[in-house]
Each structure stands twice: as C-alpha cells, then as structure tokens.
Amino acid sequence: MSAPSSSVTPAHRAGFACFVGRPNAGKSTLTNALVGQKVAITSNRPQTTRHTVRGIVHRPDAQLILVDTPGLHKPRTLLGERLNDVVRTTWAEVDVIGFCLPADQKLGPGDRFIAKEIAGIKKTPKVAVVTKTDLVDGKQLAEQLIAVDQLAAELGFEWAEIIPVSAVKGDQVQLLTDLLAPLMPEGPALYPEGDLTDEPEQVMVAELIREAALEGVRDELPHSIAVVVEEMLPREDRPADRPLLDIHANVFIERPSQKGIIIGPKGKRLKEVGVKSRKHIEALLGTPVFLDLHVKVAKDWQRDPKQLRRLGF
Ligand SMILES: Nc1nc2c(ncn2[C@@H]2O[C@H](COP(=O)(O)OP(=O)(O)OP(=O)(O)O)[C@@H](O)[C@H]2O)c(=O)[nH]1
C-alpha cells in the first residue's frame, strides 16, 4: 500500500543557480541576501564582480549553490573576452538561470543582449528576477513585469517564473528560494552545512582590497586595478587567545602615473584602503589581521595573457 501523497517527504534537491543581468542589476546584493552574509562584492558601480563567487543556501529540503558571474559586456580587451567566456561557460553548466532586471530602469539594449544569449541556452530553466522593487511604485512595477514577460515572448522562450524582489528590504527573497529549490535536480547536499562559499579565501580577500582600492577613484581607474594576495600566514609566537594573521598583497596598476592616485599624498589614501579593507577582511575571516599592501606597476596587464594568468584571470 502506498502512503497518501501528501505525507510523502519530497526528495532532497541540490544544484546550481546563477544570476545574470547587466552591470548594477543587483546580482551581488541578491546573492548576499539569499545567503545571509556578505560573500559577493557589491558596489554602486558596474563590473566589480570579476570572480565566480558561490554563495550556498542551505535548507532542509534543498541546497542552492549560487554562482555570481561578472556582467557580460562588449569585449574591448583580452580581459573583457575572458570574462565573457567565463560567463557563458557558467550559464551552460547551471540548473537555473536567474535573470536580474532592475525595476527602476526601463529594459534596454543591454538587457536584450543578455536575454538573447540566454534564450540560446534552451535546456536551462530561466527565472526573471525583477530587482530593487523598493525603488518603484506599484504601477511602475506592474509595467516592468509586463515588459519582462513580453521580452521572453519576443525571443521565443518562456520564463519558468517571474518574481519581483527587493534584496535590500528582504522582500520576497525567501519566496525566491522557494521557487528556485524545486528547479534543482534531486540529490543530496553537495557542500557540508555551514559552508557559505567555496571561493578560496585569498581570492575573497583580494576582492575586498580591490573594492576598497577602487573606492572614490573608479572614474580615474575604472578597470585598471588588480589585487593578488601573495601570502596569508598566522603570525608565529602569538598567544593562542591573541592570534594575528599576516596578509601580504600586491595592488597592480597599469601605468606608473596611476601610482600617485592609489597611494595619495604622503601615502594617505593607501593607508585608508588598508584600514578599510582590513576591517572587512577581519569580519570575513573572524581573526585580527595585519595587512601589508604594496603598489606595483604591471604594464598593460589587461592586454597581456601572461600577466592576466599571473593576476589570476
Ligand atoms: N534600493 C535598492 N538598491 C539595490 C538593491 N539591490 C541592489 N541595490 C543597489 O544597486 C547597486 C548595484 O548592486 P550590485 O549587487 O553590486 O549589482 P551587480 O549586478 O552585482 O553589479 P555588477 O557586479 O556590476 O555586475 C548597489 O548600489 C546596490 O546597493 C535593492 O533591492 N534595492
């Protein structure tokens, strides 16, 4: 005799979801809201997310592994091309694609470009996530939802779901995981509970430093900063209750003329970058940190494949 279907525990599911969308669409903020801790790097400027950062949502019934990709953009440099390759490879491998579209901006060519690309990935279910709903009124939101629906219709595919969320207010964030979970394949958890991300710590530390280094100088140095953590070592001879982690990192710029911008008068700016990123790193790693930053020139690193590899791209 089989049990009534309502009492059957649904199978556990686990899989990968990735948020796509034009720069500034709110992908990183959404990833953080879903995971509940700062793991991806957010900023109010486009294209800060270079690395594929995974956040992991643990639920009793499902595990969602979120892959946060850089924004797809028109490649002008080798770096741009590599980033786009990373994005496409990621899209083909995930179980669901979440397309983030900000509620407060009319759909534009950038959105259409991405929509066309994902339309080509036939097998993968696509969920439209209308983000930043706290910035619009009901009428504007309704219009955006209709426009998003039409976008898919024009391109000959259907959204598995269309869901409005505000990651900042936490509105509908839980509902989004409820909708994504059933789209995952059946299977056991892929990561141990408690893991929030499998991004190597050094890469996350480098991102935090880069974020601080870009603060206030993005217009002058939009994509010219790369950060490499050379070493992370616990300081020897420290009492067990007062550990200290030594971190040595290099901030790479492309031209000697950019050195002054990063370092600032009498080294003031670099010092601020150090203080700020150290705070974030300490919060991330849960240990006091001594941060040693050096600024180095890696000439035209964006165009040089050897340099790119060395800088971790
Ligand atoms: N008001 C409001 N602002 C939001 C919300 N989500 C994101 N933002 C803001 O929008 C900006 C961009 O957010 P990100 O999460 O960095 O966007 P992204 O899509 O990851 O950007 P890239 O890394 O450049 O691709 C930031 O200033 C966020 O604070 C939201 O729900 N409400």
Are 285 and 207 contained in the same domain? yes
Are 131 and 240 contained in the same domain? no
- Which pLDDT score is estimated for 269? 93
- 191 lies in a domain? no
For ligand 1, whether the C-beta of 7 sits within 6 Å is no
- Which pLDDT score is estimated for 41? 45
Last residue of a domain, one of 141, 157, 183: 183
Best residue among 24, 47, 141, 176 to mutate for probing ligand 1's pocket (most ligand atoms within 8 Å of CB) is 24
DSSP assignment, residue 183? G
- 189 lies in a domain? no
For ligand 1, whether the C-beta of 69 sits within 6 Å is no
Last residue of a domain, one of 136, 157, 183: 183
For ligand 1, whether the C-beta of 43 sits within 6 Å is yes
- What number does the ligand 1 atom closest to the CA of 167 have? 31
DSSP assignment, residue 9? P
| Token representation of residue 131 | 């983000």
- Which pLDDT score is estimated for 231? 81
Q: 3-state class of 112 per DSSP?
A: helix
Residue 27 Cα to ligand 1 middle (Å): 6
Contacts of 215 (CB under 8 A, 6+ apart): 273, 276
CATH number of the domain where residue 242 is located: 3.30.300.20
DSSP strand pairing (245-253 vs 226-234): antiparallel
- Which pLDDT score is estimated for 108? 92
Domain count across the chain: 2
Residue 44 Cα to ligand 1 middle (Å): 6
Residue 218 Cα to ligand 1 middle (Å): 16
Last residue of a domain, one of 183, 218, 250: 183
The CB density around residue 284, as the number of other CB atoms within 10 Å, is: 18
- 116 lies in a domain? yes
- Which pLDDT score is estimated for 139? 97
Closest to 107 (Cα-Cα) out of 22, 39, 19:
22
Give the Cα-Cα-Cα angle 42, 229, 23 (nearest 5 degrees).
Answer: 25
Query: pLDDT tens track of the chain, all 313 residues?
Result: 444 445 567 789 998 898 888 888 998 889 888 887 545 444 443 333 333 545 788 888 998 888 755 555 555 666 666 656 666 666 777 899 999 999 999 999 889 988 988 898 888 999 999 999 999 999 999 999 999 999 999 999 999 999 999 999 999 999 999 999 999 999 988 776 666 655 567 777 888 898 899 887 877 776 778 888 888 888 888 888 888 999 999 998 888 888 888 999 999 999 999 999 998 888 777 789 999 999 988 876 666 666 666 665 5
For ligand 1, whether the C-beta of 47 sits within 6 Å is yes
For ligand 1, whether the C-beta of 223 sits within 6 Å is no
Are 13 and 93 contained in the same domain? yes
| Token representation of residue 83 | 């980033």
For ligand 1, whether the C-beta of 131 sits within 6 Å is yes
Q: Tell me the residue range of the domain where 218 lies.
A: 201-310
Q: Whose CA is nearest to atom 27 of ligand 1?
A: 44
Are 9 and 140 contained in the same domain? yes
Helix, strand, coil percent content, the chain, rounded in steps of 5: 40, 20, 40
Cα-based distances in Å from 221 to 74, 158, 213, 214: 19, 40, 10, 7
Q: What is the ipTM of this complex?
A: 0.97
Cβ contact 173:19 at 8 Å:
no
Binding residues: 21-28, 68-72, 131-134
Closest to 49 (Cα-Cα) out of 76, 83, 78, 77:
83
CA 133 from centroid of its chain's CA atoms = 20
- Which pLDDT score is estimated for 25? 92
194: exposed, middle or buried (C-beta count within 10 Å: 0-12, 13-18, 19+)?
Answer: exposed
Q: Whose CA is nearest to atom 6 of ligand 1?
A: 26
Are 135 and 219 contained in the same domain? no
Are 86 and 205 contained in the same domain? no
